[in-house]
Structure 1
Amino acid sequence: MTNVSTPPQRALVTGAASGIGKAIATEVIAQGGRVLAFDLDAEAMALGAKEFGDAYVPFAGSVTDPEVVEEAVAHAEVQLEGPLDSLFNVAGALRPAPIVDLTVEDWDFTIDVVLRGVFLCTKYAATSMIAGGKGGAIVNIASVNAHMPLYAGSAYAAGKAGVEMFSKNAALELARHDIRVNTVLPGLVDTPMAGFIIQNDGIMGEFNENAVIKRPANPSELAKPSVFLASSAASYVTGTSLVVDGGYEIGGYPDLSRYL
């Protein structure tokens, strides 16, 4: 039987220089698509462009700046030769501290990257998709901490919970334009942002006691379901959340504050 699923062809991926973002970009390209890679790390993206050639178009900037995001989407339309058909909001930030020690600056920084960035990229990418008249798909990477509180991670957990509800609102509003919006909720993933957790024997000892699958995910294990949600194989899926955590949510989360 012929596989009739159509993968993303013109995708904007935030946080594409490393971790889950790079894995999603890699998966889109492996399935024949092209990517506008949007990240602050210009040096890492230059390596991606060298690795993938014309299929990986780097764009350096912050997802928290509306003018930069609008420019990134416009650049994608030119470089990818058409309106976007998919957006993957992956860029994230985590500055752990107990609430009483958390600075206002760190709270604002985390919420800006985690939630404001998703709003801005969705706003401008959806505008591109609507103008193109062919619909599209948006996949927002939240976290299992949208459902579970995170010791010393209140801003991160609150922001990710906001991403999940924002995605449901976006799915409701954009359905009339044939744009689907879904959320992926990872557990612990072996990425640079989670490095301080994975390299800490105490935290990982607690993780392994509680986790069902006793290891962090590889970023590629998040990329495949994320790209599935943006493909035509998921054409009747919108406004939902896919938990990809190896059963972590049912196991429990370590107290990060003990290790700060």
Structure 2
Amino acid sequence: MNTFENRFAGKVAVVTGAASGIGYAIARRLIQEGASVLAADLNTERLDAIQGELGERFFGVKANVTVENDIEEMVSAAVKQFGKLDLAFNVAGASRAGVITELSEKDWDFTVDLCMKGVFLSMKHEALEMAKHGGGAIVNVASLNSHVPMYAGSAYASAKAGVEMLTKNGALEMARNGIRVNAILPGLIDTPLTAELLSNADIKEAYMERIPMKRAAQPEEMTGPALFLASDDAGYVSGSSLIVDGAWATTGYPDLSRWF
């Protein structure tokens, strides 16, 4: 992974879901490239540990992205700590699986609220702050499942498809305030959220049959695409969805029905 020294020097970013996985990898690379990062997550113990690792340009706050007051306080904390807000990476997400005829309303609401409502609330308050100072860039983490259905994943796939459309709508509405909004659509990533999945040899084999590059990505491999979309090099890119999946979208999703 190549980093660009001082590419984001003087910039202030918010990263949700920053305690692990893609969110942590993005926060760490932003620090490496000169930014200051307000990191939001529910796992405050992990945020404290990252603070010790990354130093004074990293500041963690506890936030539930499905609660609007938490998001307002998250943005306010970024401004209080670092003086402004230039960039935002909306990463927080998780899923509770179940086929449509068996999925509980509670599990549907958990997944859709976290994956889509959380992005909506984050975009809303990030953009309100950015608009005060001439604009900025927002990068949302959607999923390959924005385009490809997954057995027992209706809530997740629907929410991530919603994130992709929120991204496009945000790009349309926020351009007048100098704010660009884009999304990355990761494929299979080796994170704590997929650890149980990848530990099952048969399920892993089913995925590898579909992924031409024959492996899951590491979270760090999502940072280059995400930071590119936030950088000046993408200054005329807005409303775009960048699929980062090892060519998986060319083949379709594996049949997971045998495991449900």
Bucket of the pairwise TM-score, normalised by the shorter protein: over 0.9
Amino acid at match of 1:65: V
Query: What is aligned with 1:118?
Result: 119
SS at match of 2:40: strand
**What's the TM-score, normalizing by structure 2?**
0.95
1:112-158 superposed Cα distances (whole Å, 9 cap, x missing partner): 000000000100010110112x2100000000000000111000000
Structure with greater contact order relative to length (CA < 8 Å, sep ≥ 6):
1
Deviation at 1:252, TM superposition (A): 2.2
Q: 2:72 pairs with 70, 76, 81, which one?
A: 70
Query: What is aligned with 2:233?
Result: 233
Aligned length: 257
Deviation at 1:100, TM superposition (A): 1.2
SS at match of 1:105: helix
Distance 1:255 1:102 in 2: 18
Distance 1:136 1:79 in 2: 18
Root-mean-square deviation (Å) = 1.6
Distance 2:66 2:123 in 1: 12
Distance 1:70 1:6 in 2: 24
Q: Percent identity?
A: 49
Correspondence 1:190 to 2:195: no
- What are the within-5 Å matches in structure 2 for residues 111-150 of structure 1? 111-132=112-133, 134-150=134-150
Deviation at 1:93, TM superposition (A): 1.1
Query: What is aligned with 1:207?
Result: 207
Deviation at 1:256, TM superposition (A): 3.0
1:24-76 superposed Cα distances (whole Å, 9 cap, x missing partner): 00111110001111001111111110101111100012000001100110011
Give unpaired runs (5+ residues) of structure 2.
none
Q: Is the 8 A contact 2:6 2:33 kept in 1?
A: no
Structure 1 range deviating more: 193-202 or 145-154: 193-202
Q: Is the 8 A contact 1:97 1:257 kept in 2?
A: no
Give unpaired runs (5+ residues) of structure 1.
none
Query: What is aligned with 2:26?
Result: 24
Deviation at 1:5, TM superposition (A): 5.7
Q: Is the 8 A contact 2:8 2:30 kept in 1?
A: no
Deviation at 1:258, TM superposition (A): 2.2
- What are the within-5 Å matches in structure 2 for residues 44-193 of structure 1? 44-80=46-82, 82-132=83-133, 134-193=134-193
Distance 1:226 1:21 in 2: 10
Deviation at 1:254, TM superposition (A): 2.0
SS at match of 2:59: strand
Amino acid at match of 2:258: R
1:202-255 superposed Cα distances (whole Å, 9 cap, x missing partner): 111111112111000000100111011101111010001000000011122223
